Amino acid sequence: METWTISAAELHDEIVRGRIPEILDVRNSDEFAEQKLETRRPVPTRHTPVYEVLDEPERFAEDTMDGAIVVCGQGNGLAMVVEEFLAAGKETRSLAGGMDAWANILVPVELDGLPAPARAWQFQPPAKGCLSYVIGVPGEACIVVDPARNHAPYLDLAKDHAMTVTHVIDTHVHADHISGGPSLAEQLGVDYHLPPEESAEEIPFPNRPLEDGEELPLGRDSVVRALTMRLPGHTPGTTALLVSEQLMLVGDTIFVRGLGRPDLTGQAEDLARSLFRSVHDRLEPLAPTTVIAPAHWSSPDEFNDAGAVTTTLREVFEATLLNERAIERFVEEILSTLPDAPATYDTIRLVNAGQLRPPEEELMVLDVGRNQCAASTSLT
């Protein structure tokens, strides 16, 4: 890699460490409006289309901070910008592969709290708020939950820890990103699991829905297991997984700062009631210290000191909204806070349910953009 470029993974690491003073995004205005380079640690970002920069490179170099990163769509043509800046005495680098490369990285963060030998990793894509997971026992088996389309990070981690992937699970039919679940399961020749309420008979890929209460062994220790649990509310058939009685993957049912919106399948009021019952009837009996790991994050303040996006059941039930025992008031509050769903969500759900098969170029476009699956931005 040229000395004036930086890879997406290196850029993420340097941003988290506070080493990047500024981002100069030279994409077209519509591309910049659609998706910005964001991480849990905000970086000052300026936007100027590349043709304007090249018209007056010395002036823009003067306005740019030393150490800034120049970003475009695919990384093409940035050599000229950086060369002009370097000639003007400004030390800058460009993002290799541009935002396309940024959109494909997944950063694994290990989660604490599981009893040995079980381990859990949360995969964070900086370009999007979606979270996915690998849960397993080194030297034995693991499962992949809510995977993105980029399979390599999951497979690399499994290989590094001598784990065999035995199951691939989508907690629900996602509306905000294209699932990598069916293709990963097909690649590995293992079972793929989608909730039965959301897997039509004509689904074109193999799917074995998990039964409520079904156990997925991860190792020889019978304590280490994933126990499935139905949690309808965000969607009709969301599946949650309780790992070793201490970690719960809840899909989009609960976020660190909100609840899953119930309107994406056209059943808003009914699912809002299901959401209330799911949280109170299925989750409240569990230990208050149970760690809740959601499928999305919405804002940087949701990351904890260890860099993970988690909460606990105690914190969930201390929230005003979920302490409200009157279901009618709960439903009214949820429905009144719903933002409009992005226009692409219906299409993405059809793709993830196997009902549409767009070309790769369209899939890439559908997969861009922040998730908007929360019913409210705060539980308090």
Q: Which residues, other chains included, contact 148 with Cβ-Cβ below 8 Å and sequence gap of 6+?
A: 106, 123, 125, 130, 132, 177, 179, 180
Note the pLDDT of residue 95. Answer: 93
> Does some domain include residue 379?
no
Supply the pTM of this predicted model.
0.89
Note the pLDDT of residue 353. Answer: 83
61, 86: one domain: yes
Which amino acid, 125? P
Residue 268's domain is classified under what CATH number?
A: 3.60.15.10
172, 277: one domain: yes
> Does some domain include residue 283?
yes
119, 157: one domain: yes
93, 232: one domain: no
Residue finishing a domain among 75, 102, 129: 102
> Does some domain include residue 115?
yes
328 by Cβ neighbours in 10 Å (0-12 / 13-18 / 19+) ranks as exposed
> Does some domain include residue 371?
no
The number of folded domains in the chain is: 2
60, 116: one domain: no
> Does some domain include residue 313?
yes
Three-class SS of residue 283?
helix
Q: Is residue 142 annotated as a catalytic residue, yes or no? A: no
Note the pLDDT of residue 377. Answer: 46
> Does some domain include residue 372?
no
67, 166: one domain: no
Residue 50's domain is classified under what CATH number?
A: 3.40.250.10
300, 200: one domain: yes
Do 46 and 109 contact (CB within 8 A), yes or no?
A: no
172, 94: one domain: no
Q: Which residues, other chains included, contact 298 with Cβ-Cβ below 8 Å and sequence gap of 6+?
A: 129, 255, 257, 258, 371, 374, 377
> Does some domain include residue 155?
yes
Residue finishing a domain among 37, 67, 102: 102
Which residue stretches of the chain are H helix?
8-16, 29-34, 50-55, 57-63, 78-87, 98-102, 152-160, 181-188, 268-277, 313-318, 320-323, 327-336, 345-352, 360-366
293, 357: one domain: yes
Q: Which residues, other chains included, contact 271 with Cβ-Cβ below 8 Å and sequence gap of 6+?
A: 232, 233, 234, 235, 236, 262, 263, 265
133, 89: one domain: no
Note the pLDDT of residue 70. Answer: 94
- Select which of 72, 130, 142, 373 is catalytic: 72
329, 203: one domain: yes
Taking 50 as the pLDDT cut, the residues of the chain under it are: 1, 377
Boundaries of domain holding 279: 107-366
Residue finishing a domain among 63, 80, 102: 102
> Does some domain include residue 377?
no
201, 80: one domain: no
